[in-house]
Structure 1
Amino acid sequence: MTEQDVREVLNGRRAQAARNDGAILDAARTVFLAEPDAPIGAVARAAGVGISALYRRYPSKEALLATLCLDGLRQFVTIAESAREVPDPWEAFVEFLRGIVDADVHSLTVHLAGRFTPTPEHRDLAVRAGALAAEILHRAQQAGVVRNDVEITDLPMIYEQLAAIRLGDATRLRELRRRYLDVHLAGLRTAATSYGAMTGSAPTRAEAGARWNRTT
């Protein structure tokens, strides 16, 4: 076998591994959002790969869950960084919220929080995600387009409420979530303060973060 043949074989194996990895992560998201307690073997079956191929990439269910949540955090950061570049503060805020809701990254929070031990990489990405979200919110508030009594910890509660909507196919689901996001956006605008102050207080960071403490 020539050196070129070896390179082609290695490249083929890498491509197959990448395809398997993508299939595993897609299957894991589907399986664990439907049933967080599902065994890891259910992911292998849904992905159409052998259990040994799955374990070569992810030695445990916890490792697979951790990777899913890392992907969600990375996606959140990408969406926020894009929205931050929108010149108009209100449009930036809307694009940010719509991007997060459309990406459905908070379904992972609702279903998987507390099922694995976060790593320093999770924490670093979470800090980055929080800083970007706060920047977008505060810019909109300073521009007078978002009510001042909205706290940064209110936003994840909105994402999670909308993530609970699971009706119809993907197109209908997106439509419904956007419909009810519009209701939230109307309540977040400065004009909505004419109806009075919000009831109660926003979640504290400790309350929101406690969900990620390992419970299993």
Structure 2
Amino acid sequence: MPKKSETPAQKPLSGRKAQAARNNGIILDAARAVFLADASAPISAVAEKAGVGISALYRRYPSKEVLLRTLCHDGIRRYNAEADAALEDSDGWDGLVGFLERVVDADVHALTVHLAGTFTPDESMVPDVDHSGVVTEELVRRAHATGRLREEANHLDIGLILESCAAITSPAPTRAAELRRRVLALLIAGLTSDTPLPGPPPQPGEFAWRWERP
């Protein structure tokens, strides 16, 4: 099992730092909403959505490229946090299913579906990207050990399942969440089936092309 890094207990932020953290969270939430709706939107649309001046936004994120990279990196960290938590479940199958449900509810993979290829990833993301692969493989290994996960399913299939759910949209956020959970339930049922799957499984590196800038 991958070891989670140990960090010292965090001290409460001072008033100024706490406010800065809140402001940054508001900007990232606004950026997520804006760029999921239109990946080509200008950075000024994020400032307007967040209710901050464009100069204040540029002080934190000097370009749209940096903001997009930060947004996706934040999504990877959220994914890893859920995956690490799932490894604490004593039942490998329940751990995998609970992980899938939480990640779909958080809509983490919508960023991958909509923003891949809109910015250039950098080296700062590599450790978290590597960790996501390792921890997902471990979740799949533990689910296989229970005998409930179909033998030919691999950890890259998990990514395809999550992206399939993230691709479902609706003008009503609540309805989109309901439909994603419905489709996830159908896909989870398929993970326990013994019906042969068509074609070979996804391979490492097969989806790297989409992160390349056009």
| TM superposition score normalised by structure 2 | 0.89
Which structure 1 segments of 5+ residues have no match? 1-10
Distance 1:22 1:82 in 2: 23
Give 3-state SS (helix, strand or coil) of 2:206's partner.
helix
Match of 1:151 among 154, 170, 195: 154
Could you list the per-position Cα deviations for residues 121-146 of structure 1 after superposition, in whole angstroms to 9, with x for gaps in the alignment?
A: 21110110111111011111122110
AA aligned opposite 1:103: A
Match of 2:164 among 158, 161, 165: 161
Alignment pair present for 1:101 and 2:104: yes
| Equivalenced residues, count | 201
Distance 2:16 2:147 in 1: 55
In structure 1, the partner of 2:135 is 132
Greater shift in the superposed pair: 180-189 or 202-211: 202-211
In structure 2, the partner of 1:80 is 83
Match of 1:174 among 162, 172, 177: 177
Distance 1:13 1:88 in 2: 43
Distance 2:43 2:90 in 1: 45
Give 3-state SS (helix, strand or coil) of 1:206's partner.
coil
**CA shift for structure 1 position 12:** 4.8
Distance 1:114 1:213 in 2: 5
Alignment pair present for 1:25 and 2:37: no
In structure 2, the partner of 1:67 is 70
Greater shift in the superposed pair: 98-107 or 13-22: 13-22
AA aligned opposite 2:144: Q
Distance 2:185 2:25 in 1: 33
Percent identity of equivalent pairs: 51
Greater shift in the superposed pair: 118-127 or 64-73: 118-127
Which structure 2 segments of 5+ residues have no match? 1-13
Match of 2:118 among 104, 115, 118: 115
**CA shift for structure 1 position 13:** 4.1
Q: Which has the larger radius of gyration?
A: 1
The root-mean-square deviation of aligned C-alpha atoms, in Å, is 1.4
| TM superposition score normalised by structure 1 | 0.88
